[in-house]
Amino acid sequence: MLPLTFRLRLQTRFEASFCGRLSARLWARLGGKREGVKPLLQYRDDPEGFAKGPLGIKLTYKQRLVLRGIRDHKSTAVAASHGAGKTFIAAVAAIWWYCTREPAIVITTAPTGHQVKNLLWRYIRTLHRNARVRLPGLVLTVGIESDNPDWYARGFAARSSLDSENGEFSQAFPMS
Ligand SMILES: Nc1ncnc2c1ncn2[C@@H]1O[C@H](COP(=O)(O)OP(=O)(O)OP(=O)(O)O)[C@@H](O)[C@H]1O
Ligand SMILES: [Mg+2]
């Protein structure tokens, strides 16, 4: 029997490569049509404009500050009260980064699979679907894939379902 950490690592690799192949196949089935990112490149340094324009959403002043922080700094931490819109703005930031660079890699993490799938990625899926323009990428439950293996967004849970019951922390676990 392989040790747990080794098994997790193997599984991570397998799922990442499977995801890449799957997206290419899905892409082909969808007609191989690839949305260009060029019209969106103008928003590379303008996440607020991206939210207002292509996403068609209004942000609060504090949410705009968060986007500026992400644009201007390597690390941004947000402490705000319950329901203030933290997860929502994280979703906006993830889509902005993915859509305004080619290629781009976006990795999101949360303590549990539930938080990844039903909170952050639910917002991402909705924002992507309701955008005013057709955004690049094929949106999956917890990922956005393209036909470029170096251009993707994926959600990870810090705890796998294997160890979530006893609360032990393990390596990041892929959700897609
Ligand atoms: N700019 C916005 N435009 C429209 N709806 C928004 C906006 N910001 C937040 N919301 C909505 O407000 C609600 C709370 O947002 P969110 O879940 O991001 O809060 P939170 O700070 O992460 O809350 P919690 O502390 O529970 O994690 C959600 O329904 C979300 O869709
Ligand atoms: Mg939240």
| Ligand 1 probe mutation, 87, 112, 115, most atoms within 8 A of CB | 87
The band of 8, judged by pLDDT with boundaries at 50, 70 and 90, is very low
How do residues 66-109 score in pLDDT, each as one tens digit?
999 999 999 999 999 999 999 999 999 999 999 999 999 999 99
* CATH architecture group of domain 35-76+84-174: 3-Layer(aba) Sandwich (3.40)
For the chain, what's the residue count?
176
Residue 45 phi, psi dihedral angles, 5° rounding = -110, 20
- Mean pLDDT across the chain, nearest whole number? 81
H-helix or E-strand containing 138?
strand 138-140
How do residues 120-131 score in pLDDT, each as one tens digit?
999 999 999 999
Per-residue pLDDT at 25: 58
List the chain domain ranges: 35-76+84-174
User: What ligand is nearest to the CA atom of residue 123?
Assistant: 1
Per-residue pLDDT at 39: 86
Tell me the two tokens of residue 163. Answer: 């160890």
Token pair 């890699």 is at which residue? 105
Question: 84 alpha carbon to ligand 1 midpoint, in Å?
Answer: 6
Looking at this protein, which amino acid is placed at residue 53? G
CA 88, 89, 93, 96 torsion: positive or negative?
A: positive
The band of 38, judged by pLDDT with boundaries at 50, 70 and 90, is confident
Share of the chain above pLDDT 90, in %: 66
Q: What pTM was estimated for this model as a whole?
A: 0.79
DSSP 55-109: S-----HHHHHHHHHHHH-S-------TTSSHHHHHHHHHHHHHHTSSS-EEEEE
Cβ atoms of 108 and 156 within 8 Å: the answer is: yes
CA dist 152 and 145 (Å) reads 5
State the closest ligand 1 atom to the C-alpha of 123, by its place in the atom list counted from 1. Answer: 31
Q: What is the dihedral of CA 148, 125, 122, 44, to 10 degrees?
A: 70
Per-residue pLDDT at 23: 55
